Structure 1
């Protein structure tokens, strides 16, 4: 179904550029012809019993062409990592009927693996004619399968229907136009440099939304981002704070500020220091967006309206948000509680996971596992994750708040709170710290005593990096495993 976005633009604006890279450009007309060729080729490969096909292809351009061709022949798709170890875990969750890969990899799966390498792709482009293929638009048919993290970062499969994709794309376009209404000039046809993995639903929608309005996608590897910003002139990036931090740390001094560039930061927490650095060195045009795979874009705000690091944004017009207590009773404005969301076309369940479905989907509401504050004007703040609210000695502590305080110490590059049981089985606070230079270790204790006077004594684990997921959330359970391994060695 979603291949129709390309097909339509190819008819009304055939010469517009759909893809730009350091190797050249591809028009919508050329892209559409190649999708038709590839669709005919896949009909010779994919049997009728394959309803969901996972794509594992290193080259982003061909990966997307395969997704579009599968859509054109009426087969739902999923995207998995090119890393075989990660791909095996993703495939176990997605449970596809078949897998298309550019290389043979040994994994334990019941899915049929089709190795379609670059040579096969080149032959398909030469062998098959670009005769159009059309499938009926069935709004309730599953067309895309993705993986999302639940309240405890357990990964779940989510199935998206054609109507859900359609409405999500339209809403993302609407949000994009509204968010930049204060700018005097906005490109009619955006040029996006994507950074979010398109295996995630939000990353997937970013590509589709730009293509659906005749915009251009810049396809560049992560190590090419700086060159792409300087040479290929993107005017839009959608990025997580973790990815933005990496860019900030490695931004060459000779790259001037790109005031034509607009950044949409998908964040629950956007540190003040990082905001100021980006505005001074990269671009002044920043928007923050709060989104989930289950509900899409929930809130958005311009950087000039942010007063707190944890500001998520103004609630979108098609979304209802409430902050409730543990008994699901709505709280008064300004109180901290569990966020719940209601919207048309919101995901209603996780695939084959009744327990977490009942936990996160109740009476038409979706519970993303976030703690927040909502004011009477509809401004939402994200305080942290439900599973990141720690109880030590009867007192509650928000992990992200402690993370931010420790990271403010000069010489500490990154830090994250987690907990470990002591010899009596009582959970105690630990800090994982990444050194960024010399610092006074006693300052950690002094600062914690000042800001969190009732926090018990903290143990420290020195690490090379803080593990995070694709959205920048700290994987605190991974830190617990690292600490356990460390304890076993002493």
Structure 2
């Protein structure tokens, strides 16, 4: 059976061609125009030699060009690979080298950086210098695609600091889009969605972008989150659904509401990326009169696993909700034995959203996807009603401002600074970011390394959100009985010094 996520736009281009699909500022693009612009883009991609199964990398912020390139790649039978443009040049180069895309689209500065680092820039297109998305064409039939065929690849850094591409199938995205559109949000074509999340992030890509196109609703595109602008758009564009990470809700909570604003269209919010503090959750709902659904997911689940239903189910603050239709959960100990309700263990997930695996990483795929179950590496428990609570992370990942950050990425950069003997990066609780990064540093005997030197090196080689917010110097890092760095003790030190 052919199942293709390009049919989201194609279906509505035929059934409701004049309905708005995208909004940028006060301008709107309907489904017919989006489909025709994507068809024009697909034709140009074919002229470049892009064939079925080739990878098309899109390193752009949220914009019309992103959407047209993404849909154009799908119509050409290619595999879109959206990448966050906030990544540092070295990180982007590593991902490009791993993915080996047929063509890369970026704006001028990033395109120039990639050409320099790659040596051969023939496949890197500066979207500012070569407009690629303005021409329309008569749409061709969508390529045939099996439900398990790769639809797209989403990249995130692995725990080793190496690039990790998650292969998501057409069936994965179909299932996730309908779960959010109907089970959670009950979307109609009259809904208008807004997010400050990058569409290259699985939350922004699937939960908002794919779900709203699936439902024939419209999406307002913004390049970055700004609380004042978000409230202005909810008022002026009659936004119905907002999605964001906890940092955004923390910021909106502190934003004054102009007396002239009418926010009555706003009916639902979704929070993800990391746990939403209960205090922020309650105060936000009280201030705006809009309920927030908090959920649990990950790229490997495309991403939705559980969600707190907005209607017809009990509200449990602090919970990530109940599984979506078709999702199964297990909580297991280190030996793989199932834990009773209320007992903590690793969260295992099975269901129609589980990814095919990691791109060209069979060993990591076999380690993470076992016997039909996704081993999440997260620690949680189920209560008596089947609500999931995520309480800790088995892995050492830091989640700051909704971004996943692995300590080794920071530590590798810091270790290269002359005079630094040891370093360990951890996350400590932060009201706004969820966690902020603190680097604990041990210097070589007699060395002197100013904090500014380390932060400058990190800023040069890492995305801004990965740069530590604070550096603390110690005589030695705490270690456990086996000689490993005791990160739990470091986190305790971080809390004690707040």
TM-score, normalised with respect to structure 2: 0.73
User: The residue matched to 1:340 in structure 2 has which SS?
Assistant: strand
10-19 or 128-137, larger mean C-alpha shift? 128-137
Does residue 1:56 correspond to 2:66, yes or no? no
Matches within 5 A, 1:63-462: 63-83=66-86, 85=89, 87-103=92-108, 104-107=111-114, 108-109=117-118, 112-118=122-128, 120-121=130-131, 125-126=134-135, 129-148=137-156, 156-177=164-185, 189-205=190-206, 206-222=208-224, 223=226, 224-254=229-259, 258-261=263-266, 262-295=268-301, 296-302=303-309, 305-309=314-318, 311-387=319-395, 403=429, 420=440
Distance across 1 between alignment mates of 2:435 and 2:259: 30
Distance across 2 between alignment mates of 1:44 and 1:415: 46
| Unmatched 5+ stretches in structure 1 | 181-185, 391-398, 424-461, 463-468
Pairwise CA distance, 1:228: 1.4
Distance across 2 between alignment mates of 1:175 and 1:42: 36
Pairwise CA distance, 1:274: 0.9
Pairwise CA distance, 1:101: 2.6
Distance across 2 between alignment mates of 1:362 and 1:79: 27
Q: 1:90 to 1:248 in 2, by over 3 A?
A: farther
Pairwise CA distance, 1:318: 1.0
Q: Describe the superposition over 1:52-89 as per-residue Cα deviations: whole angstroms up to 9, x where unpaired.
A: 01012346111110110111010101112334625334
Residues matched between the structures, number: 417
Q: Describe the superposition over 1:251-292 as per-residue Cα deviations: whole angstroms up to 9, x where unpaired.
A: 555475734321011154221221133113334222111111
Pairwise CA distance, 1:111: 7.6
39-48 or 350-359, larger mean C-alpha shift? 350-359
Distance across 1 between alignment mates of 2:240 and 2:165: 33
Q: 1:221 to 1:40 in 2, by over 3 A?
A: same
Pairwise CA distance, 1:294: 1.2
Distance across 2 between alignment mates of 1:120 and 1:480: 38
User: The residue matched to 2:429 in structure 1 has which SS?
Assistant: helix
45-54 or 285-294, larger mean C-alpha shift? 45-54
Q: For the Cα contact (< 8 Å) 1:97–1:112, is it kept in 2?
A: no
Q: For the Cα contact (< 8 Å) 2:358–2:365, is it kept in 1?
A: yes
Corresponding position of 1:434: none
Pairwise CA distance, 1:132: 3.0
Pairwise CA distance, 1:300: 1.2
Distance across 2 between alignment mates of 1:40 and 1:417: 45
Corresponding position of 2:404: none
Q: 1:159 to 1:90 in 2, by over 3 A?
A: same
Distance across 2 between alignment mates of 1:47 and 1:369: 37
Q: For the Cα contact (< 8 Å) 1:340–1:367, is it kept in 2?
A: yes
Q: For the Cα contact (< 8 Å) 1:342–1:364, is it kept in 2?
A: yes
Distance across 1 between alignment mates of 2:122 and 2:356: 29
Q: 1:483 to 1:52 in 2, by over 3 A?
A: farther
User: The residue matched to 1:234 in structure 2 has which SS?
Assistant: coil
Q: 1:125 to 1:350 in 2, by over 3 A?
A: closer
Corresponding position of 2:458: none
Q: Describe the superposition over 1:395-414 as per-residue Cα deviations: whole angstroms up to 9, x where unpaired.
A: xxxx98x737xx5xxxx997
RMSD: 3.8
42-51 or 356-365, larger mean C-alpha shift? 42-51
Distance across 2 between alignment mates of 1:209 and 1:34: 20
Corresponding position of 1:45: 48
Distance across 2 between alignment mates of 1:145 and 1:389: 21
Distance across 1 between alignment mates of 2:98 and 2:239: 34
| Unmatched 5+ stretches in structure 2 | 399-425, 444-454, 456-461, 478-498
Q: 1:369 to 1:258 in 2, by over 3 A?
A: farther
Q: For the Cα contact (< 8 Å) 2:61–2:85, is it kept in 1?
A: yes
